[in-house]
Structure 1
Amino acid sequence: MSDLQHAKAILGDLIAFPSISAESNLDIITYCARHLEAAGARVEILRDPSGKKANLWATLGAEGDGGLVLSGHSDVVPVADQNWRTDPFEMQEEDGRLYGRGACDMKGFIACCLTKAEDLARIAGQHPIHFAFTHDEEVGCLGARALTDTLAQRNLRPRLCIIGEPTEMQVIEGNKGCCEYSVTFSGLEGHSSAPERGVNAVEYAARYIARLLELRQHLVTRAPAQSRFDPPWTTLNVGRLQGGVAHNVIANHAVLDWEFRPITSDDMHFVKSEVASHVDTLLAEMRQTHPQASILTETIGEVAGLEPMPENEARDLVFGLTGHNEAACVPFSTEAGLFQALGTDVVICGPGSIAQAHKPDEFVSLDQMQSCLTMFDRLISDRP
């Protein structure tokens, strides 16, 4: 069986695991662990506090610092309310494309990693090769945050990391961060004929939103002169506002979901500081009428972006493996910034297109899978 046929078979198995973020990923992690153990890797399954989710950390070669991480997330987005032509959890091949939920985002890369694990074992030696397969990337990079925290606690700092997000095997050296929040406003209900006697949670949520929109405009002016992102500034989005019960009742409850995607750590700190200051102002007003009023913020996820660096050994390695000599930046978020925070050189490169991710009839092409396998073949042949 050729490597491509092997990778295709593994991808079919991976797609068959309905590892939607809301569900357990233990079955797919166990499957990956068995493949890596068979290749000679030392494998750890690191469960989250619930016991229903887990990261996989596996190593070929020497223990300790250094080495190369091959990283991918095991979870996928839901298929509910999407019009798929076929069962999204049963891989279909058609016209050189492999269809199924997670085909490109990002089980295609994981399938290539598992396919080449035995060959990679032969070249690991004193320069270890690690596999990091995480949970809950799609809902705030929760697994990668836990994994990188564990590595930091163990004083383990991988030297290089390839994040296999779908880039059509193009080299990506920067991505925006992603900060997501749910904010709950609790006020005081009452009859709408006397609005001054209540605290309207929806109105205060609207004032909160108004400040977010002011910040969104200001962030445009903060775009670095040489920014390579599209758009070149930090973006901000109001996703959902829900509250109130009727036309003539002062709303005592509202929930707001919003996010922003910073291009620099300075922008991340700026937005958080400005919002916190505005919350203090709103809350002081609310409590003049109702001392028990509250504004509670739940942080869904805060992930810094991957900041392009003048010196990046991982980028230069993948240049040599793919034949590319230019690197780009992308607006979507990945786990790369968490590994960069460890002091690891990080690059993003993987099979498939982000344009297919999260959509019905998601696919990865066989050509893209072969390109990824070829990248690993060159890594194997080039490693002393």
Structure 2
Amino acid sequence: MSSVPSSASLAILARLLSFDTTSRESNLALIDWVVDYLAGHGVAAKLTHSDDGSKANLYAAIGDASLPAIILSGHTDVVPVDGQVWQFPTFALTQADGKVYGRGSADMKGFIACVLAQVPQWVALAQSQCWHRSLGIALSYDEEVGCLGVGRLIADLQARQVPVAGCIIGEPTGMRPVIAHKGIAHYRCRVQGRAAHSSLTPQGVNAIEYAARLITHIRKLADTEASFGNRHPLYDVPFTTLQTGLITGGNAANIVPKSCEFVFEVRWLPGDQHERFVSSVRDYAVNLLQEMREVAPEADISFEQLVNCPPFQSEDGGEIREHVAVLCGCQGGDAVAYTTEAGRFHEAGIACVVCGPGSIVQAHRPDEFVELSQLAACEAWLAALQARVIAAV
């Protein structure tokens, strides 16, 4: 097997990296480019848009669309580069030391480029051979901010009754299968107290201090889970975790702060229910609020769910698991603490495995890169997949 990917994959990856598809930006320039690329090979694409029309998912089928599809899925958005110091250009391809640098090279435009580079060959094979599966290409938006876009793509597939044999999500796994991951939920908590001059603190209700008590409660839940919670030995972090990631509040050091808000997350194992932790935080907030309202009847504590991505655990056996086991040369697979769109597909009853080029360690970091050898391995893997499940046997 070659340790260098095809020039087609590298050329496509260079084009994909040139689009700034940070989640706060539109991905339509990239999607339009892919639509034109596919159309140039006679493949039509179906788009599903966000509410404001600024973003889109893409789905395209190669082969007989009435046959169950093996879907190759990737997200087009990337995380910001703000505040990061890069040696290499952020939204461009730089090749050096056996690596390709650029935001999204590992997570996960490298996989998308490898898939798109196979399209001409797949189209030619579909015209000359009798397949027993079709091949689907799925690109989504807003994965990095909570797997928000792919739900519309899945709903469209279901509404059109597109038959699906299974889905391979090409997140960076070193081309090893990931068969399970945690769910993730984010909640914003807003604490409203009463402002006062700091010399008259008893007349105020300090929103930051009450928020701190809630955060301490969240930390106690996390510590309890780490010490006594359920364990799953397959995971790198084998228990449910909680943490507070953002906080803001107050106006000046000599003012009792009227407001404070923070965002906390739960990452839970398949089979668990993250709502039990959130309920504990809500119950504790009720007790705090009674105390706050003894001084300030207008005080309030509210919660808003921002993200809720379900966990994923692949069922033993099944077509997708069998294909991936043979292609990766291993039985079973890994479980990880990070979250992917596999949770959304799995929730919709679609069998999934996560497998793609690169390392999650490189994702979201300055000078993000994917090794050339990993892209070459992905190309060979896709060719083997085509030979195994698409061509008639």
TM-score range, shorter chain: over 0.9
Q: Hey, what does 2:12 align to over in structure 1? A: 10
Deviation by residue 1:134-182 (Cα, 9 ceiling, x = unmatched): 1111111111233234444555562211010001101110111211222
Q: Hey, what does 1:251 align to over in structure 2? A: 257
How many aligned residue pairs are there?
Answer: 383
Q: Provide closer, same or farther for how the CA distance between residues 156 and 372 of structure 1 changes in structure 2, counting only shifts above 3 A.
A: same
Counterpart contact for 2:63–2:131, Cα < 8 Å: yes
Equivalent in 109, 112, 116 of residue 110 of structure 1: 112
Deviation by residue 1:170-217 (Cα, 9 ceiling, x = unmatched): 111011121122222222111233333322211121111011011102
Equivalent in 37, 40, 65 of residue 39 of structure 2: 37
Rounded to whole Å, the distance in 2 between the matches of 1:283 and 1:58 is 52
- How far 1:118 sits from its partner (Å)? 2.8
User: Does 2:80 align with 1:74?
Assistant: no
Return the letter of the residue paired with 1:33: V
Pairing 1:179-258 to 2, within 5 Å after superposition: 179-221=185-227, 223-258=229-264
Runs of 4+ in structure 1 over 4 Å off = 123-126, 152-157
User: Does 2:167 align with 1:158?
Assistant: no
Rounded to whole Å, the distance in 1 between the matches of 2:293 and 2:161 is 46
Deviation by residue 1:324-350 (Cα, 9 ceiling, x = unmatched): 334111111111111001111110110
Q: Hey, what does 2:139 align to over in structure 1? A: 133
Q: Hey, what does 1:350 align to over in structure 2? A: 356
Rounded to whole Å, the distance in 2 between the matches of 1:163 and 1:72 is 6
Rounded to whole Å, the distance in 1 between the matches of 2:296 and 2:111 is 54
Rounded to whole Å, the distance in 1 between the matches of 2:67 and 2:207 is 51
Q: Provide closer, same or farther for how the CA distance between residues 157 and 204 of structure 1 changes in structure 2, counting only shifts above 3 A.
A: farther
Could you state the TM-score of these two structures normalised by the residue count of structure 1?
A: 0.93
Q: Hey, what does 2:309 align to over in structure 1? A: 303
- How far 1:23 sits from its partner (Å)? 0.8
Q: Secondary structure at the match of 1:159?
A: strand
Counterpart contact for 2:5–2:375, Cα < 8 Å: no
Return the letter of the residue paired with 2:217: R
Return the letter of the residue paired with 2:278: K
Counterpart contact for 2:74–2:171, Cα < 8 Å: yes
- How far 1:37 sits from its partner (Å)? 2.7
Rounded to whole Å, the distance in 2 between the matches of 1:55 and 1:73 is 9
Q: Provide closer, same or farther for how the CA distance between residues 64 and 192 of structure 1 changes in structure 2, counting only shifts above 3 A.
A: farther
- How far 1:311 sits from its partner (Å)? 3.1
Comparing 243-252 with 96-105, greater Cα deviation is found at: 243-252
Rounded to whole Å, the distance in 2 between the matches of 1:33 and 1:221 is 51
User: Does 2:334 align with 1:334?
Assistant: no
Return the letter of the residue paired with 1:320: V
Q: Provide closer, same or farther for how the CA distance between residues 139 and 97 of structure 1 changes in structure 2, counting only shifts above 3 A.
A: same
Q: Hey, what does 1:170 align to over in structure 2? A: 176
Return the letter of the residue paired with 1:88: T
- How far 1:232 sits from its partner (Å)? 0.6
Counterpart contact for 2:5–2:373, Cα < 8 Å: no
Comparing 28-37 with 329-338, greater Cα deviation is found at: 28-37
Q: C-alpha root-mean-square deviation of aligned residues, in Å?
A: 2.2
Return the letter of the residue paired with 2:315: M
Q: Secondary structure at the match of 1:193?
A: helix
- How far 1:314 sits from its partner (Å)? 1.7
Unaligned runs of 5+ in 1: none
Deviation by residue 1:268-319 (Cα, 9 ceiling, x = unmatched): 1322222232233333433343333232333221101212433343222112
Rounded to whole Å, the distance in 1 between the matches of 2:31 and 2:74 is 11
The percentage of counterpart residues that share the same residue type is 37
Counterpart contact for 1:69–1:130, Cα < 8 Å: yes
Counterpart contact for 1:40–1:118, Cα < 8 Å: no
Could you state the TM-score of these two structures normalised by the residue count of structure 2?
A: 0.91
Rounded to whole Å, the distance in 2 between the matches of 1:269 and 1:157 is 33
Rounded to whole Å, the distance in 2 between the matches of 1:61 and 1:315 is 22
Return the letter of the residue paired with 1:38: G
Q: Provide closer, same or farther for how the CA distance between residues 79 and 225 of structure 1 changes in structure 2, counting only shifts above 3 A.
A: closer
Q: Provide closer, same or farther for how the CA distance between residues 148 and 241 of structure 1 changes in structure 2, counting only shifts above 3 A.
A: same
